[in-house]
Structure 1
Amino acid sequence: MKTRLHLKLLKKSILIVLAAGFMQATSPEPAVYFATTPCDGIPRMWLSIPATADCEMIQWNLALQRDPRNQAPTFYKLSYAYGISKPSTQTLMNDGTRGVKEGQWSLVKDRKNRDLYRLTPTAPDAPISLVKLDDRLLHLLDQEGNLMIGHAGWSYTLNRK
């Protein structure tokens, strides 16, 4: 009788541990990166910012989600705002115009053996590629795989929060 009771308790304990592990595994914290970049041709194209829009800078907030079981890349959410900057700040006049892009992301090696983060949007937009500089920094690449060059005010480097 005691053995059956122990087996039942053991089974329940195992189920509780598995359920708790599954609940935790389905909602890990994403890696979040942010940046303030110039608003020029390539980012305008990636983010579908109209050519007629007043756009001096873009604020990026990129969340990269991974599968908790094997840490494989899954999906991303890129929230952004663009517009004219407030003088001497990193903020936008009237909070700018906001947008969101979502899709799948992957981690690949390029021909230079660099770790690339490839963002593939769900909409039929061009993918965005970033190179991993270290665990806290990603840098935007142009369409040929070259580092994008910023200026004295803003760069194209995303910093991990």
Structure 2
Amino acid sequence: MKTLKISTFILLAACFVQASRTSPDPTTFVASTPCDMIPRTMLSIPANADCEFIKWNLALRRDPRNQNPTFYKLSYTYGMTQPGTTGFRNGGTSLTKEGNWISRKDATNKETYQLNSNTPETSLSFARLDDNLLHLLDPQGRLMVGHAGWSYTLNRK
């Protein structure tokens, strides 16, 4: 009987540990946004570059042990639209940014994610709307407003 109790305890403990582990895979968000001055500045896109829209691919990693933010990788392509397609004329220009990110909650319990928090001029901040949606914030922390063609909302992939 004692062996059965110990075996049951070990089995339950193993199930609990397995259930509490999360995948080390990043959470990925994607979007197509307008290429106006605020994202140009944040992404270091030259002001004179031909840029109509930006395609984003943001991968956020968390520590699987405690779910604290650790590392991000932002791949993005910008340029002019290729008529009749969802792509770029001449393939666009592709770049990558990587670094650490942080998660903060304000007094209203609104959660924001901040990339490159140690370099304010190129820092990117997103409001976490839910598990599947992030929305780009302007430098003052307000939601960016898109237009009929594109928004500033990133969708979970």
TM-score range, shorter chain: 0.7 to 0.9
Partner of 1:137: 133
- The aligned residue for residue 116 of structure 1 is 112
Deviations 1:69-106 (A, max 9, x none): 11110010000000001224321112100101111111
Structure 2 spans left out of the alignment, 5+ residues: 1-13
- 2:148 equivalent to 1:152: yes
Show the counterpart of 1:36: 32
Residue 100 of structure 1 pairs with residue 96 of structure 2: yes
Within the candidate set 46, 49, 71, 1:50 is matched to 46
TM-score, scaled relative to structure 2:
0.81
Residue number in structure 1 paired with 2:62: 66
Aligned residue type for 1:56 = E
Alignment partners' CA distance in 1, 2:106 and 2:150: 26
Question: How do 1:8-47 and structure 2 match up within 5 A?
Answer: 28-47=24-43
Calculate the TM-score normalised by the size of structure 1: 0.79
Question: Cα deviation per residue 1:119-153 (whole Å; 9 max; x = unaligned)?
Answer: 11687752111001111000001011111000111
2:78 pairs with one of 53, 78, 82: 82
- Cα distance, 1:157–1:31 mapped onto 2, change above 3 Å: same
C-alpha change, 1:124 and 1:152, in structure 2 (3 Å) is: closer
Task: Indicate if the aligned counterparts of 2:102 and 2:117 stay in contact, CA closer than 8 A.
Answer: no
- Separation in 2, partners of 1:123, 1:143: 12
**Superposition CA RMSD, Å:** 2.2
Partners of 2:127 and 2:118 lie apart in 1 by 21
What count of residue pairs does the alignment treat as equivalent?
A: 139
Pair 1:127–1:70, CA change in 2 (3 A): same
Judge which range, 61-70 or 82-91, deviates more: 82-91
One-letter code aligned to 2:128: K
Distance 1:77 1:63, change over 3 A: same
**SS of residue paired to 2:134:** strand
Larger Rg over CA atoms: 1
User: Which residues of structure 1 form unaligned runs of 5+?
Assistant: 1-16
Work out which of the residue numbers 122, 128, 132 in structure 2 matches 1:126: 122
